[in-house]
Amino acid sequence: MAKIDFGGVLEDVVTSEEFPLEKARGILVNETVAVLGYGVQGPAQSLNMRDNGVNVIVGQRKEEQIFWDKAIKDGFRPGESLFPLEEAAEKGTIIQFLISDAGQVEVWPKIRPCLQEGDALYFSHGFAITYKGQTGVNPPENVDVIMVAPKGSGRTVRSNFLAGSGINSSYAVFQDYTGRAKKRALALGIAIGSGYLFPTTFEKEVYSDLVGERGVLMGCLAGVMEAQYDILREHGHSPSEAFNETVEELTQSLIRLVAENGMDWMYANCSTTAQRGALDWKPRFKAAVAPLFEELYENVASGKETKIVLESNSAHDYKERLGKELEEIKNSEMWRAGAAVRSLRPEIRKKG
């Protein structure tokens, strides 16, 4: 492991240079990795592992035809490398449980009996284990329980892999029955295309993940964008101007500078007027939202958010209600303006 200075705090990380793919293949050479669920993370992780020479099979519910057909399109053959969930779980020595959180609760009673002594149960999210009192996911004592959690969507896990770059992932060991749990986790992390891996626990992963998704990464970001857009529109600015100053400049310019070399680098490459305004208003925004983030963290840690997720996602009409919510966002003036702005990007016009 390499010691890396993260803002004055030394942390252990594992890079693909010190844990090369050849080493990962050696650890996994006698394993059959059964990827259960071909929805969000399943395709990316299974395809990356297959491309990296790992023996991969997929388990998917046939009644979810769109995902079953996608697996076939991606080269997994029914009866050879594509099976119903329980059959794949029985064949695998490492079972990657990549079904949605609510889906894991539903199918766990059927998957648990498929685990054999010495198998590894793998997650990419700490949800089911951390909140096992609510989910009912209690693994048997004679298996390894491990996690590799990519810090990005399945789409990004695959696109970064194909582009020759990796994606950061955390890893954790909840239960080490075989004495090989950590090696298995690290090997799988490298095999799915991680650029580097950093240690965590199942609990810390799910707490940070749920806070991040509801906060800066998605919920807060969307809410702040809508608030600024609405204020600009209320003061007479056009949809195009409001959208460009709220979203387009952020996603197409400024956030790329942050990704390149940090927030200070982005500030340094903006006008002095922008610098002064941003530096003056930053602490005010931080002070305004800090109490909300504290409330959010407490809701996550207490299991309140888990209760909401499980009740909502297990409802028979969840997908229908979700579709309506997403359609409402898509059809709002702000995001209709966004569609128009995106259509005017030079690379889009050239394709047209």
Q: What is the DSSP string of 143-195?
A: SEEEEEEESS-HHHHHHHHHTT--EEEEEEEEE-SSS-HHHHHHHHHHHTTEE
Which residues is 173 bridged to in the sheet?
A: 146
User: Phi/psi at 179 (nearest 5 deg)?
Assistant: 85, 0
Identical fold, 2-200 and 212-351 = no
Over residues 253-300, the pLDDT tens digits come to: 999 999 999 999 999 999 999 999 999 999 999 999 999 999 999 999
**What three-state secondary structure class fits 80?**
coil
Average pLDDT (26-42) is 96
Q: Model confidence over 67-101: pLDDT tens digits?
A: 999 999 999 999 999 999 999 999 999 999 999 88
Nearest to 169 by CA among 133, 123, 136: 123
C-beta separation of 194 from 44 below 8 A: no
Task: List pLDDT tens digits, range 328-342.
Answer: 999 999 999 999 999
pLDDT the model gives residue 50: 97
Residue 4: pLDDT above 90? Answer: no
Whether 125 is catalytic: yes
CATH class of the region 2-200: alpha beta
Pick the closest to residue 342 from 258, 245, 250, 244 (CA basis): 244
Per-domain residue ranges for the chain?
2-200, 212-351
Residues 133-168 have pLDDT tens digits of 999 999 999 999 999 999 888 899 999 999 988 889
According to CATH, the topology of domain 212-351 is: N-(1-d-carboxylethyl)-l-norvaline Dehydrogenase; domain 2 (1.10.1040)
Q: How many CB atoms lie within 10 A of CB 305?
A: 22
